[in-house]
Amino acid sequence: MAVPRSEYLSSVWRDGIFNDRVVFVTGGAGTICSAQTRALVSLGCNACIIGRNPSKTESAAASIAQCRPGAKVIGLGNVDVRSPDSLSQAAARCVSELGGIDFVIAGAAGNFVAPLSALSPNGFKAVIDIDVLGTFNTCKATLPYLVESAKQYSGQGGRLLAISATFHYTGLPLQAHVASAKAGVDALMHSISLEYGPLGVTANVIAPGAIGGTEGMARLASSESLAQKAMVKAIPLGKLGTVKDIADATVYLFSDAGAYVNGHTLVVDGAAWRRQGATAVGIDPGMQYPNFLLDGKISDNVKTGREGSSKL
């Protein structure tokens, strides 16, 4: 059954604005990136989504293709963003089958809750490798195609977007690994905007806040209802974000309306980061900063990454 369009795209966008464009998405089977891809495909894009899990990636591609009659959506599994060769081959296949790459979303990421005292070098490295190195590899594999797209479409192609976070703006307990990684992602995209802007390519970042019903929320926020209510109460707009909020922001940055936006980080979090404190992730009701850190306690009600590899 097709996902209702109202769940991933606002009604303000005109159909066909991305006709004949192709988007390449790492993490395209994830909850946020799949919504971004659905929005773009609905508005005319064809898409290539990649991931490590073949069945999940191919299933997501088939589902996304239902957004628009005649849409072409390729799902490439067994692709690891940590492998430059793997990504280069995926990008080449995308171009071979779909005709080019006009938009790129670097959305593959890894996350889990851990205090620094319990964070192993391998755990820290894994997040850095997936987020920072994976984004770098994605950019290296696709930027030549984005330069060609920028030439062909003269300001209407050649758009690069990375998915980041807000943790490094203030620092956050239990997220030192992710804050470090996302700071690196932001810095990389800022440099790309300067180096490739003269070639017509824009490079921007979206930093989502707490988005309801996502893998990220399951890994960071306690499932206890009181903890959920406390999180919502701390957000100035008084509600969790939706995947549609992120998808709409993506459409804006890739559309003609965002043609002059380059080197920018678009925070989509209801202003939550401006109140970001020491109790945002990994705790249950009654756990107070700094006591839960001194006592060595974190929530048992968050999803861990122990059952398998990172979600791409």
Among all residues, which ones are annotated catalytic? Answer: 164, 182
SS3 category, 54: helix
d(CA 236, CA 298): 25
d(CA 138, CA 65): 23
Secondary-structure breakdown of the chain: helix, strand, coil percentages, each rounded to the nearest 5? 45, 10, 40
Query: Which DSSP letter does residue 232 get?
Result: H
Q: CA of 70: how far to CAs of 64, 102, 188, in Å? A: 12, 19, 36
d(CA 114, CA 260): 39
> Beta 73-76 vs 202-208: how paired, if at all?
unpaired
d(CA 156, CA 189): 19
Instruction: Look at residues 102, 95, 94 and name the one whose alpha carbon lies nearest to residue 153.
Output: 102
